[in-house]
Amino acid sequence: MSAALRTPLHAPAPGARAPRGGGRPAGLLLDFGSVISVSVFERHRETERILGLAPGAVSWLGPLEPGSDALWRDMLANKITERDYWRLRARELGEQVGEPDWDVPTMLGRIRQNDPNAVVRPAIAALVRAARAQSMKVGILSNEMELFYGADFLAGMRFLDDLDVIVDATQNGILKPDPRAYALAIEAMQLPAEQILFVDDQFRNIAGGWQVGLQTHYFDLRDVSGNVAAVAARLGLQLETEP
């Protein structure tokens, strides 16, 4: 069974929403793409080298520089879906190398997916290890984890082995920021919503999490190390230092 199918749904429904002023979370719920995994946006120069493209040939930067990316702005305005965004970017990148039939899994495989364990941010892996060492529950809430990465690829990702919960819309068809997506994750985490810190790189998903009672943290890709440190501080965790 793939990691994305390991979602316990037997817990009692979470309690009523409570104020979330400053209570330390007992659980950590992470988005996968761009939070756990290094984003495509951060790897453009490497992508150009891999594909033999001229420097600067890949110029769209999504959340790193929304002004550079009309498609990203369309997605934020709900003119297209996130899946549409990546489908169009995959096709565009494929066209640049003369292969216009690329889909998202093909794109990811061609530009970086040879080693599933290299996809995970080391700082996030350290954060999760620290959380697990303190007996915190840790889970994933993703819109397209298996859809984009594939079950076989995820099966080789050691990072997933120690997680308590993986809720993936690839399996259930319910996309953030639909309240039902968060409800599934809250139930699987077996914690009240107000005791879970939800981390995502899109404001609309953060807003959806807040509306259902989760503590939230917007993961700004322009300062990855700062955001990891901020999440660790909210959880009361001391992270491993680089040797």
Per the prediction, the chain carries an average pLDDT of 89
Residues contacting 98, CB < 8 A, separation 6+:
none
- Is residue 122 in some structural domain? yes
Structural domain for 131, as ranges: 3-37+117-235
d(CA 89, CA 91): 5
- What SS3 state is found at 29? strand
- Is residue 242 in some structural domain? no
- SS3 breakdown of the chain: % helix, strand, coil, rounded to 5? 55, 10, 35
User: Are residue 105 and residue 128 in the same domain, yes or no?
Assistant: no
DSSP class of residue 193 equals G
Q: End of a domain among 96, 111, 126? A: 111
- Is residue 240 in some structural domain? no
User: Are residue 158 and residue 102 in the same domain, yes or no?
Assistant: no
CB atoms within 10 A of CB 182: 27
* Amino acid type, 218: Y
The pTM score is 0.87
User: Are residue 155 and residue 227 in the same domain, yes or no?
Assistant: yes
List pLDDT tens digits, range 100-143.
999 999 999 888 757 899 999 999 999 999 999 999 999 999 99
List the structure tokens of 197.
Answer: 């810190």
The yes-or-no verdict on residue 12 having pLDDT over 80 is no
d(CA 182, CA 196): 11
- Number of domains into which the chain is organized: 2
Dihedral sign computed on CA atoms, order 73, 203, 220, 124: negative
- Which CATH number fits the domain that encloses residue 19? 3.40.50.1000
Residues contacting 231, CB < 8 A, separation 6+:
28, 127, 197, 199, 217, 219
d(CA 135, CA 129): 10
User: Are residue 192 and residue 227 in the same domain, yes or no?
Assistant: yes
